[in-house]
Amino acid sequence: MSDQRVSASRRIASPAAAIWAIVSDPEGHVRIDGSGMLDAAADAQVITEVGQTFDMHMDRTPLGDIPGLTKYSVRNTVTQVVPERLVEWTIGGIDQPPLGHVYGWVLEPVDDATTDVTNYCDWTNITPELRERRPDWPIVPVSMLEESVGALERLVTDR
């Protein structure tokens, strides 16, 4: 797997519809690393269509991966939606150009009570200009995505 696209998968003992109810809801799915790094804005809406935006309030302090980068807010724009199967978004919005990478959840039903879930981050479409300006931009580590899938499983099974 290229370091430009990383993913983490897990089989979760829950129907796809129950998992979808969380991953299509920014308030339910944006905690990536378990440290409270990401929180959706209080007025975030359930994701239903391409082009929809939602805000996240971010705090990189617990990660310490980018010196000097602590708390900030970011707008996200939905790039793909397949109900009960896929939701994907890019960082950026009307007032902030996309940075070129996308995050997504893919749900593959195994049966009525089991779903294969994948969380991914894909940097393959980042522009050469951005890459030249910030060659040190971190590629999202698989460990963050694994923690995200684990957090999702806990959310689903605790309901």
Residue 94, pLDDT > 70, answer no
Give the full edge-to-edge strand order of the sheet including 102-111: 5-12, 114-122, 102-111, 86-91, 71-82, 53-59, 38-40
- What secondary structure does DSSP assign to 88-111, as a single string? EEEE-BTTB---S-EEEEEEEEEE
Cα 80 from Cα 103, distance rounded (Å): 10
**CA of 69: how far to CAs of 66, 101, 124, in Å?**
6, 19, 23
Which of 41-45, 47-51, 107-111 is most confident?
A: 107-111
What's the pLDDT score for residue 1? 40
Look at residue 93 and tell me whether its pLDDT is greater than 90: no
- pLDDT at site 42: 60
Cβ neighbourhood burial of 66 (10 Å; 0-12, 13-18, 19+): exposed
Kindly tell me if the per-residue pLDDT of 141 is higher than 80: no
pTM above 0.75, yes or no: yes
Domains of the chain, earliest start first? 5-158 (3.30.530.20)
Mean pLDDT, to the nearest integer, of 124-151? 74
Predicted confidence (pLDDT) at residue 140 exceeds the cutoff of 50 = yes
Alpha carbons within 13 angstroms on the beta-carbon side of residue 113 total 2
